[in-house]
Amino acid sequence: MAFVHGKNTFVSLDGDDLSAFTNNVAFNRSADSHDVTTFGKNSKNFQSGLKDGTATIQGVYDSTATGPGAIIRPLIGGLAVEFIYKPEGSGAGKPVSTVDAIVTGYEETAPVADMVTWSCSLQFSDDIVDSVGV
């Protein structure tokens, strides 16, 4: 068994590395299923459909011009941009998932006794390309 620690995870959006500002990523893959049950069946039958996916990126806010807010805010509701996710970090033979994504939301949370945090919601557009680093 090869357990992997999340500390080396890499994420970038539209060519900007967000890893230094990020502390959590949820990368979700899904697919439609269609009920094709006909009369006379005792159990439902299903046919697979189109694939889908979303991601949520979260982290600690940074107010600089290269911080997540400055990078992500202009992308909300715009054209799909490249999203790269490397759960094991960068390096030869490590998994890389690349997909075009639409930024569907950006949120900042400012609790009175803690650090300001941010989160970003992505909707995948088209196929996820899985490869390995070189």
The pLDDT of residue 119 is: 98
Query: What pLDDT does residue 2 have?
Result: 84
The pLDDT value given to residue 62:
93
Domains and CATH numbers, the chain: 7-27+49-132 (2.40.30.200)
- pLDDT of amino acid 134: 87
Instruction: Note the pTM of the prediction, 2 decimals.
Output: 0.93
**Alpha-carbon distances of 41 from 6, 16, 37, 44, 107, rounded to whole Å:** 46, 52, 7, 7, 47
The predicted-structure confidence for 90-110, as pLDDT tens digits, reads as follows: 999 999 999 999 999 999 999
